Amino acid sequence: MGKIISIAIPKGGVGKTTTAVNLSLALTKKKKRVLLIDVDPSGQCLSSFDIDKSLPQGNIFDVFNSIKKLSEVIYRTEYANLDCIPMKRSTYQNELRLSNLAEKSLNLKYEIRSLAVNYDFVFIDCPPTLTGTTANMLNISDSVLIPLKASKYSLDELGRIFKFIDEIKKTGNAGLVVEGIILTIDEPKTRISHQVKKELIRKYPTKVFNVTIPKTVKVDEASFDKTPIIIYDVDSVCSKAYLKLADEIILRNEMSDLFFKH
Ligand SMILES: Nc1ncnc2c1ncn2[C@@H]1O[C@H](COP(=O)(O)OP(=O)(O)OP(=O)(O)O)[C@@H](O)[C@H]1O
Ligand SMILES: [Mg+2]
């Protein structure tokens, strides 16, 4: 069964969606089947794909409202092995309603698990908050991938999400683990990047990925073109980094499968 991974941190603009889209595509290039679910009311994932923006089959909001089943709102993307469950950009009221649908998470857990058999990985692109929708998603996930942008406050943010994950483990999803921490929008030559990396390796040696995602103007160029960077320019440093991240995730999961099987 595919692994269900939430991409989450209570901070906006740190590369959650960029990572969700480009890592999903990187994994398809490694012959993995991926489902990407957008639960962020800003609905950003949709803009990366050539999907009918009127979303005729419905969207994840209809699932939270019990109007549709999860399996009914899967859209094929133009990329082989990548499907997407989009979120229609929502109004503020919808956002509030969405985050109040906590009690739905149990049904969703069964639905998502039955869908996951068709994929190797299911990624959930979360909003930049912890409570409400993100909490629901962490309750139904196997692991959390944490994108972190180097800043003075990075380690505090990380502390908050680790604490929150502990709460979720205690109250409903004991098996939840941290998939890993990926440094995004990285400027490797700066002192802050160097310090944050050093501190991450000291505090979370088994959790931090070796690769970091470098900052490059090409990412914004690509999004202006409504194309994921990994398609727009596969040779850019950022695309290469997402491909390496895909390798690391595959390797880690193969190793842990081996470990648990023996
Ligand atoms: N490696 C990168 N280099 C340069 N710019 C980047 C990189 N990754 C992401 N960005 C830019 O940073 C901005 C925020 O990225 P993104 O939308 O992925 O963040 P997010 O965490 O999903 O934000 P939100 O919480 O608002 O949904 C975007 O303008 C994106 O193009
Ligand atoms: Mg986002």
Say if residues 142 and 5 touch (Cβ distance below 8 Å): yes
Nearest ligand by distance to the CA of 19: 1
What is the C-alpha separation between 139 and 242, in angstroms, rounded?
Answer: 26
Task: Judge: domain 3-261, CATH 3.40.50.300.
Answer: yes
Residue nearest to ligand 1 atom 15, measured at CA: 15
Cα of 180 vs centre of ligand 2, distance in Å, is 18
From first to last of its 262 residues, the chain has per-residue pLDDT tens of 899 999 999 999 999 999 999 999 999 999 999 999 999 988 889 999 999 999 999 999 888 888 899 999 999 999 999 999 999 877 666 666 666 665 566 678 899 999 999 999 999 999 999 888 899 999 999 999 999 999 888 888 899 999 999 999 999 899 999 999 999 999 999 999 999 999 999 999 999 999 999 999 999 999 999 999 999 999 999 999 999 999 999 999 998 877 765 5
Cα of 14 vs centre of ligand 2, distance in Å, is 8
Residues 6+ apart with CB under 8 A from 66: 104
Cα of 46 vs centre of ligand 2, distance in Å, is 11
Q: What atom in ligand 1 is closest to the CA of residue 220?
A: 31
- Determine the pLDDT at residue 55: 95
The continuous run of DSSP H or E covering 123 comes out as strand 121-125
What is the C-alpha separation between 176 and 166, in angstroms, rounded?
Answer: 9
Nearest ligand by distance to the CA of 46: 2
- Determine the pLDDT at residue 97: 67
What is the C-alpha separation between 169 and 165, in angstroms, rounded?
Answer: 6
Report how far apart, in Å, the C-alpha atoms of 239 and of each of 20, 25, 41, 104, 137 are.
13, 10, 26, 36, 27
Q: Among 18, 183, 227, name the best residue to mutate to test ligand 1's pocket (greatest count of ligand atoms within 8 A of Cβ).
A: 18
- Determine the pLDDT at residue 66: 84
Residue nearest to ligand 1 atom 29, measured at CA: 220
- Determine the pLDDT at residue 193: 95
Strands, DSSP E only, in 143-244?
Answer: 143-149, 177-184
Q: What atom in ligand 1 is closest to the CA of residue 186?
A: 1
Exposure b/e, 44-83, CB count within 10 A at least 16 = b: bbbbbbebeeebeebbbbbbbeeebebeebbbebebebbb
